[in-house]
Amino acid sequence: MKNPANPVYCGIDTTELEGAARLIQSIAGAPKPAVGGIKLGLEFFLAHGAPGIRYAFPQPVRATGVGFFLDLKLHDIPNTVAGGIRAVADLAPTYITIHASGGRDMLKAAVDEAGVQAAKLNVPRAKLLGVTVLTSLDKSDLVATGVNDEPSDQVLRLASLARAAGLDGCICSPHEIAALRKECGSDFVLMVPGIRPVGSASNDQKRAMTPRQAVDLGATHLVVGRPIYQAASPRGAAEAIAREAGVNDL
């Protein structure tokens, strides 16, 4: 396998500002990040907002080239979602998540606004990733919301909708990678949580895959949280996971 860019995004699920700042500095700071990116989501963002992001993930760390995944899972009317994209644009996220079930007009409004803001701020356009069917939902949950279909079919339907609306990729479980890669083509970003390195605890991830398995199936990025931030050496753990995923120039 050729040496890929580091696909590992560390998911940091905490409201602890100082702890997040130290962790980010240790795994993503100079001289070279041990991860491809950092994922901060609802928990951290609702507690600390944009100032918290700027504090815990400051410009000198961003300048190492590490990616920033702002996992907000937006879902509202088109005008409000566009406003949300506008409100976080100057944080220059690499990726933002948005629920594909919000519909075509909402997805398009988000894509359009990301483009407008990128041009205005002279930063790369935030790439938008669709959330399809949450892995916490099973068929009976879907039926209860009026979707009389298998989760796997609904995932493909929503991913196709996301792609047609101009989104750059989707979040998906390891078990959805192959079908989505086939359905959405080689350029579509597949950001994949539920990853566990060889020999590690699965925690509450019931159907996890190893980094190598997920990359071989076609994942573009791997989201890994606890195996990195609960390790005695988060940097060492991140490097080991990146090596498992085929990165050999850390």
CA proximity to 123, closest of 82, 78, 85, 79:
85
Q: Using CA atoms, how far apart are residues 124 and 25, in angstroms rounded to an integer?
A: 23
CB 206 within 8 A of CB 173: no
In whole angstroms, what separates CA 80 from the centre of its chain?
22
Rounded to 5 degrees, φ, ψ at 209 are -125, 165
Query: Shortest Cβ contact with ligand C5P: which residue?
Result: 225
Query: Which residue stretch of 14-22, 144-152, 209-217, 218-226 sits at the interface with ligand C5P (rule: CB under 6 A)?
Result: 218-226
Smallest separation, CB 96 to ligand C5P (Å): 14
Q: Using CA atoms, how far apart are residues 199 and 221, in angstroms rounded to an integer?
A: 20
User: Which one among 29, 52, 67, 193 touches ligand C5P, defined by CB under 6 A?
Assistant: 193
Smallest separation, CB 91 to ligand C5P (Å): 18
User: Which one among 117, 154, 173, 220 touches ligand C5P, defined by CB under 6 A?
Assistant: 173
The pattern of x and - marking residues 74 through 93 that bind ligand C5P according to CB under 6 A reads: --------------------
Smallest separation, CB 203 to ligand C5P (Å): 6
**Judged by CB under 6 A, how many residues of this single chain contact ligand C5P?**
12
Residue 205 lies near ligand C5P (rule: CB under 6 A): yes
Residue 226 lies near ligand C5P (rule: CB under 6 A): yes
Smallest separation, CB 134 to ligand C5P (Å): 6
Two tokens at 67? 């990616």
Residue 218 lies near ligand C5P (rule: CB under 6 A): no
Catalytic residue from among 73, 108, 182, 206: 73
Residue 202 lies near ligand C5P (rule: CB under 6 A): no
42: helix, strand or coil: helix
User: Which one among 13, 16, 76, 149 touches ligand C5P, defined by CB under 6 A?
Assistant: 13
Residue 102 lies near ligand C5P (rule: CB under 6 A): no
Cα three-residue angle 82-84-85, rounded to 5 degrees: 65
Residue 246 CB coordination number (10 Å): 16
Residue 224 lies near ligand C5P (rule: CB under 6 A): yes
Instruction: Map tokens 């990195």 to a residue.
Output: 228
Rounded to 5 degrees, φ, ψ at 75 are -160, 105
Two tokens at 211? 């980094």
Smallest separation, CB 223 to ligand C5P (Å): 4
DSSP letters for 42-111? HHHHHHHHHHHHHHHS-HHHHTTT-EEEEEEEE-S-HHHHHHHHHHHGGG--SEEEEEGGG-HHHHHHHH
Residue 36 lies near ligand C5P (rule: CB under 6 A): no
150: helix, strand or coil: coil
139 labelled catalytic: no
Instruction: Map tokens 């815990």 to a residue.
Output: 56
Residue numbers annotated as active site: 73
Residues that bind ligand C5P (CB under 6 A): 11, 13, 135, 173, 193-194, 203, 205, 223-226
